[in-house]
Chain A
Amino acid sequence: MPINDALLNVGLSHYLILSALLFTLGLLGVLLRRNVIVILMSIELMLNAVNITFVAFSRYSPTANMDGQAMVFFVMTIAAAEAAVGLALATTIFKKFREVNIRYFEHLKG
């Protein structure tokens, strides 16, 4: 049974499909949501989608390559730093306008 087969035997493509879905969700969040906090969360989602691909490729690599696993740690570190900066910006925006709507970032335009 092909459908059962596809559902039971989880392989690389499943991970990639999941990752793509998560990435698209994140991207849509970034593009469409107005709340800065949600946008930051969406970015995290995109980053983690990428992490999934990294790990998946590492796991299914024929030579048992650990590079992808290592890369994930870097991505997580960067994500933490990015979140810190982004939240700081969000806090500043909130202090000024009592709201964290992305449109207030237009005021940064020179």
Chain B
Amino acid sequence: MQAEFLFAILLLAPLIGFIINGLRWKSKNYLLAGSIATGAVAISFIAAVLVVMKLFGADAPKAVTVEYFKWMAVGGLEVPVAFVIDHISALMVLVVTGVGTLIHLFSIGYMSHDERPSKYFAYLNFFLFNMLLLILGENLLLMFVGWEGVGLCSYLLIGFWFSDKEKAAAGMKAFVTNRIGDAGFLLGIFTIFFLLGTVSFDEIISKVAGMPVEVGWSGPITLAALFLFIGAMGKSAQIPLYVWLPDAMAGPTPVSALIHAATMVTAGVYMIVRLSPLFILAPNALHVVAVVGAATAVFAATIGITQFDIKKVLAYSTVSQLGFMFLACGVGAFGAAMFHLVTHAFFKALMFLGSGSVIHAMHEEQDIRKMGGLKKYLPITHATFVVGWIAIIGIPPFAGFFSKDEILWKAFSSPLGHKGLWAAGVIGAACTAFYMTRLMALTFWGKPRFDEHKTHPHEAPPSMAIPLIVLAILSAIGGFMGIPHVIGEILPGHPGNWLEHWLAGSIAAPAGEAHGSAIMEWILMGISVSIAGLAALLAFSFYVIEPDRPKQWAARLPGLHRLLENKYFVDEFYFERIINPLVSGSKALWAFVDVNFIDRATFVVGDFVRGMGSTARTLQTGNMQQYALYISIAIALMFVYLLEGPKRLAELFGG
């Protein structure tokens, strides 16, 4: 089929779903609304598969591009509405529409008791449309439109239960925090346009191709890369703009799975991978990316250890995993970042949906202290969650092992890498293993800590179980698309690293030699897996074998425990140092500058106009003959002027 046609279906199916559900937003028929929405996304997925198929084959094009019309042409800026599926966006579009379909399906069961299911599904479809714009847009401006659109949908869905003040505030927080990042992203776009005179990805990449690597900090490319990274920080919840993501868990759980785990939050990573030929020219900017990523990976993982809300644990886990992706980007391993993005989308969506199933079963209870022993009540959820757990802590051969290990290896061996980054990654991975095991233990294992006579947890209906099972399978086998060479060599048939091969032509690689040998890779792999395993065992002993020990340790290290439990007091710090001064400063400006100067100036202008009006009004008496007199006098004066000139006219008035 024609590419134009397929792209139109791919993009418009969710939009049409949004319009249909949006027009019947009052309907409470969750089954119909859900079917429309899920069907729309499924159609989109099929179209995406059909387009991606065009990229396979011996003489396949490197990218399928369609241009529909010119959007704007202003001076040197010419922006077409064009979309592209190349080897990078193909991965992303399949993940988004594929995982999106599963999550839509899951939502049908999850939202069955909700008041406004049609509205929910309309938002979800609209989110998907914007996400597709972001992914497929062939230039930075289209990407920005999608970028803002997903931000809007994220806001709407976080605050979906807006009658709860706290949830509405969480939506606001996400929106405002993202705005800061968006400002950076816009500045990045401006810088690129100023520098290269284009916003099209294709042209940007071909224009920077021959440029030399920038050494200093103040070069234009470094500047552009840093600005763009600020945008990525906001969207992908990196230090210091990560604070919105944990609060975003106020939204319905499938939303957390779709937007705040699998798709939207990875947009920042995707954008950097997309522009990797630009970023690779700014090694200093990449160092910033790597350090911020590594710091976030460790920082968020340590907070995750002390959280008691099942979704908050997963949220901090997401922040931490996104940190890993940025770490990969920062060391120039863009392929590894993409790889982890895909596997993370599988296992984190799985775990979020699993937590949704748990919350649904426990009648909206999210505190893991009030759970425990759910294994026997929720066998399917438990089994799939176990798969996600093994995948995220990086036990071979599950998906997370391959992607995380590739990141760690690249952090160590890449010319842009550093042993410190590797060590931070390993610590992050160990913390991840610890808190995920803790989550498993407190939720599913041990003895029930809820009243078994009052609460009767029930297993998820099929519409919720099927997505869980599919995602569990993907989490288990998803890693095989990127088998590292050292492992591939000893396996029968020597499978190569398919993903690396797939992405090879589309992403940039850092200049310089990678250091480290195959033996080194084996050793590091062993170290990271065993440390993660040990951390998991430790957590197991803490929370299953001797459930009293966590309390003892918390008592022994009160300062550290308080610090972690309160998330390093970052929110408090922001309020104290940034938000409150800003608010009081604005209030002072309002009370002094606005009232005294701006308001007064407008009043003066208004009074002047009103005064003029009241003077002129006296001329309008309604007396016709007076009007006639005015006209006659004016005509007479005009004649004087025309016949005698201005001088005589002035003399008449005594001048």
Contact = CB atoms under 8 A, between A and B. Distances in A.
Interface in A16-63: 27, 30-32
Contacts of B621: 106, 109
A109 B629 CA distance: 17
B628 A106 contact: no
A108 interface: yes
B622 A27 contact: no
Contacts of B624: 102, 105-106
A103 interface: yes
A106 B622 contact: yes
Interface string B493-504: 000000000000
B170 to A, nearest CB: 56
A32 B632 CA distance: 13
Interface in A51-110: 102-103, 105-109
B622 A31 contact: no
B629 A31 contact: yes
Contacts of B218: none
B517 interface: no
A75 to B, nearest CB: 17
A29 to B, nearest CB: 10
B632 A27 contact: yes
* Secondary structure type dominating chain A contacts: helix
Contacts of B625: 30-32, 102
B290 to A, nearest CB: 75
A107 B624 CA distance: 11
Nearest to A106: B622
Contacts of B620: 109
Contacts, number: 22
Contact of A30 (B622, B623, B628): B628
B621 to A, nearest CB: 8
Interface residues of B, number: 9
Contacts of A107: 622
A27 B628 CA distance: 9
Contacts of A31: 625, 628-629, 632
Contacts of A32: 625
Interface residues of A, number: 11
A40 to B, nearest CB: 12
A107 B632 CA distance: 23
A106 B620 CA distance: 10
Nearest to B623: A106
B95 to A, nearest CB: 68
B604 to A, nearest CB: 30
Most chain A beta-carbon neighbours within 10 Å: one of B621, B625, B632: B625
B623 A103 contact: yes
B622 to A, nearest CB: 3
Nearest to A33: B625
Interface in B618-651: 620-625, 628-629, 632
Interface in B59-84: none
Contacts of A27: 632
Nearest to A107: B622
A32 B625 CA distance: 7
Contact of A108 (B622, B629, B632): B622
Nearest to B622: A109
A103 B625 CA distance: 9
Contacts of B622: 105-109
A103 B622 CA distance: 9
A109 B625 CA distance: 13
A30 B632 CA distance: 11
B104 to A, nearest CB: 62
Contacts of A103: 623
A106 B169 CA distance: 62
Nearest to A36: B624
A103 B626 CA distance: 11
Contacts of B623: 103, 106
Contacts of A108: 622
A109 B619 CA distance: 13
A31 B625 CA distance: 5
A1 to B, nearest CB: 32
B630 to A, nearest CB: 10
B627 to A, nearest CB: 10
A86 to B, nearest CB: 11
A109 B628 CA distance: 15
Nearest to A103: B623
Nearest to B632: A27
Nearest to B620: A109
A28 to B, nearest CB: 10
A108 B620 CA distance: 12
B311 to A, nearest CB: 66
A67 B632 CA distance: 27
A31 B626 CA distance: 7
A32 B624 CA distance: 11
A27 B631 CA distance: 11
Interface string B332-357: 00000000000000000000000000
A107 B623 CA distance: 9
A30 B624 CA distance: 10
A109 B623 CA distance: 9
Contacts of B628: 30-31
B618 to A, nearest CB: 13
A50 B623 CA distance: 26
Q: Rank and list the top 5 A-B pairs by shortest CB-CB distance, nearest first.
A: A109-B622, A106-B622, A105-B624, A31-B629, A31-B625
Interface of A: 27, 30-32, 102-103, 105-109
22 contacts: A27-B632, A30-B625, A30-B628, A31-B625, A31-B628, A31-B629, A31-B632, A32-B625, A102-B624, A102-B625, A103-B623, A105-B622, A105-B624, A106-B621, A106-B622, A106-B623, A106-B624, A107-B622, A108-B622, A109-B620, A109-B621, A109-B622
Given A105-B624, A106-B622, A106-B623, 4 more contacts: A30-B628, A31-B629, A109-B620, A109-B622
